[in-house]
Every structure is written in structure tokens, then in C-alpha cells.
């Protein structure tokens, strides 16, 4: 656990001769303690009063520094408990293996809460993405995804649509403890060959904030994806909202025939 201020010693003063705001200096000082391992994931950061005493700053400077660390994903603020060093961010949804299998491969324990699993009619937007006529039956699944060994904090919320005609079996399976992609491949003989994904930065509305356990207005990454079979037929459309403090996306580039492509 992190140290607490020693009231008998002098405060650690920040540089008042430069042009860097105090809150930035304080944020950088705390960042260094995190990056060097002095503070580990799950450790409580000094409180605002403790930071004032340790670094000789005002309460507003301490508050802003902690806020900035949280916005950058280095810290997590827990109401009534304090601010804690965030666990390392995990990879996002670029892989064509879904969420379940990559988490197992990285040593995490995936956990899923199925909020909705019904037969519905595709609206015009969903129909266009799946190359269907509006009103065509689709399997609609909304899942809240967790990393079970990280205090069961939600990682992201995902809503998926699949053409019912291609995968009627999906309507009756339990997706709380198995991979959808794994089921499609092993039980339906459907292998996702490629996909198109788009990512954008958004903020949490009241509904998303409540489900994901974050503050309203907190940063999110919205990922939209259409996945295809090898014959070019769309098999899945989904959109997910990832907590900005828990996820990062990495993309590799390769040059093929003089052109750059992502993988």
C-alpha cells in the first residue's frame, strides 16, 4: 500500500519556477510512482488532504491531478473509498475470436451477464448492415462483459444481431459461460472470415454509466462491427461500449504489394 504523509517532515514542494501548472506536475509525479512500480494496481493513492501535505499544493490542485489520472485511465475513483491505481488495460475487440477466448489466452477469467436474448425484427439500420430486408427475424443479444478476477468490474456492454435464418440454434443457447464465436464455428459450422470495424470516442449517458459502473459523462470507446463469412455473407452485426479506463486497442500494419493493410 502507498505511504501516508509524515506530518513531522517537510512537504515535497513542486517546482514553482517553471511554467508547468502545479496539477500537471503533481499528476506527473504520481504517474512516475505508478510507472516505476512504487504504486501497484489496486493501491490507494494519497487522498486530497494527504497530497496537499506531501506536495505543498492546494486542495483544488490535488483534486484536479487525481481527476486527470482517472481520465487517462491510470487511476480509478471509487466513491466513498478513494482513488486507486487502475489495473493494466486489456486488449479490445479487434480479434475475430470475440471476447471470451482472447481473455482466457491472456490469463483473465471472462464473465458474462446476458441482459437480453430474444428473437426480434431487424430495423432498417440492422437490416442494411446484415444485407436483409427490414423486418427480417434476427437474434438480438445484449451482454455485459466482465473480467472476473478484477473485482467483477464491467468491461463493456455489447449488443449483437445475427440473421435468425442462418443461426436459429443461437436463440436457445446459454451464452453466460461460453463463446458465441466458438458456438458458431463448432456447432453451426460457420467460421467468420473477416470483418469491418469502426471505433469512435463517446461519453456515457445515464443508462450506460449505470450498467458499466462509471460516472455519467465518463469516456467510452464505441466499437461497431460487421463480420462476414468467406462467401461475403454478413453473419453478425454488433456495437459495443468499452470503458475508456479499462481497454486499449492495438493495430498492427503490414505492407502487401506496396500498400499498407491492418491486421
Query: Comparing C-alpha atoms, which of 31, 114, 112, 116 is closest to residue 65?
Result: 31
Eight-state DSSP code of residue 37: T
Query: pLDDT at position 113, please?
Result: 92
Eight-state DSSP code of residue 44: B
More confident residue, 127 or 92: 127
**Count: domains in the chain:** 2
In this structure, are 40 and 58 located in the same domain?
A: yes
Give the confidence band of 49 by pLDDT, cuts at 50, 70, 90.
very high
In this structure, are 115 and 191 located in the same domain?
A: yes
Residue 103's domain comprises 90-262
Query: Comparing C-alpha atoms, which of 170, 158, 168, 161 is closest to residue 126?
Result: 161
Q: CATH no. for residue 110?
A: 3.40.1410.10
In this structure, are 118 and 209 located in the same domain?
A: yes
Residue 14 is assigned to a structural domain of this protein = no
Residue 17 is assigned to a structural domain of this protein = no
Grid cell 455519467 is found at 216
Alpha helices by DSSP H, 4-160: 22-35, 48-55, 59-71, 100-105, 124-129
For 83-125, write each residue's pLDDT tens digit: 988 776 665 554 544 554 555 455 556 688 999 999 999 999 9
Last residue of a domain, one of 36, 62, 85: 85
For 142-185, write each residue's pLDDT tens digit: 999 887 655 567 888 999 999 999 999 999 999 988 889 889 99
Q: Cβ(139)–Cβ(159) under 8 Å?
A: no
State whether residue 126 is helix, strand or coil.
Answer: helix
Last residue of a domain, one of 85, 111, 133: 85
Residue 5 is assigned to a structural domain of this protein = no
Q: Cβ(196)–Cβ(168) under 8 Å?
A: no
Interatomic CA distance for residues 140 and 117, integer angstroms? 6
In this structure, are 175 and 215 located in the same domain?
A: yes
Last residue of a domain, one of 85, 105, 124: 85
Consecutive H or E run containing 70:
helix 59-71
Residue 135 is assigned to a structural domain of this protein = yes
In this structure, are 123 and 57 located in the same domain?
A: no
In this structure, are 244 and 228 located in the same domain?
A: yes
In this prediction the pTM is 0.64
For 240-252, write each residue's pLDDT tens digit: 999 887 776 666 6
Statement: residue 6 has pLDDT above 90 = no
Q: Residue 239: how many CB atoms within 10 A of its CB?
A: 15
Q: Cβ(52)–Cβ(65) under 8 Å?
A: no
The whole-chain average pLDDT of the chain stands at 82
Residue 64 is assigned to a structural domain of this protein = yes
Q: CATH no. for residue 46?
A: 1.10.10.10
Mean pLDDT, to the nearest integer, of 204-219? 91
Amino acid at each position: 500500500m502507498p505511504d501516508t504523509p509524515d506530518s513531522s517532515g517537510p512537504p515535497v514542494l513542486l517546482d514553482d519556477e517553471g511554467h508547468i501548472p502545479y496539477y500537471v506536475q503533481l499528476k506527473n509525479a504520481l504517474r512516475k510512482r505508478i510507472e516505476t512500480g512504487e504504486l501497484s494496481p489496486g493501491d490507494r493513492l494519497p487522498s486530497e488532504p494527504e497530497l496537499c501535505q506531501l506536495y505543498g499544493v492546494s486542495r483544488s490542485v490535488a483534486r484536479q491531478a487525481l481527476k486527470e489520472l482517472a481520465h487517462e485511465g491510470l487511476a480509478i475513483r471509487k466513491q466513498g473509498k478513494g482513488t486507486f491505481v487502475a489495473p493494466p488495460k486489456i486488449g479490445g475487440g479487434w480479434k475475430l475470436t470475440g471476447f471470451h477466448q482472447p481473455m482466457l489466452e491472456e490469463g483473465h477469467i471472462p464473465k458474462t451477464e446476458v441482459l437480453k436474448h430474444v428473437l426480434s425484427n431487424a430495423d432498417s439500420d440492422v437490416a442494411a448492415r446484415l444485407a436483409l430486408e427490414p423486418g427480417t427475424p434476427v437474434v438480438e443479444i445484449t451482454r455485459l462483459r466482465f473480467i472476473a478476477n478484477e473485482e467483477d468490474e464491467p468491461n463493456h456492454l455489447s449488443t449483437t444481431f445475427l440473421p435468425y435464418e442462418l443461426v436459429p440454434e443461437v436463440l436457445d443457447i446459454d451464452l453466460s459461460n461460453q463463446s458465441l464465436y466458438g458456438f458458431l464455428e463448432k456447432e453451426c459450422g460457420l467460421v467468420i472470415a473477416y470483418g469491418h470495424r469502426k471505433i469512435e470516442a463517446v461519453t456515457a449517458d445515464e443508462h450506460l454509466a449505470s450498467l458499466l459502473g462509471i460516472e455519467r459523462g465518463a469516456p467510452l470507446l464505441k466499437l461497431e462491427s460487421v463480420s462476414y463469412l468467406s462467401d461475403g455473407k454478413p453473419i453478425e452485426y454488433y456495437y459495443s461500449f468499452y470503458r475508456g479506463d479499462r481497454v486499449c486497442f492495438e493495430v498492427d500494419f503490414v505492407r502487401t504489394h506496396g500498400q499498407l493493410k491492418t491486421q
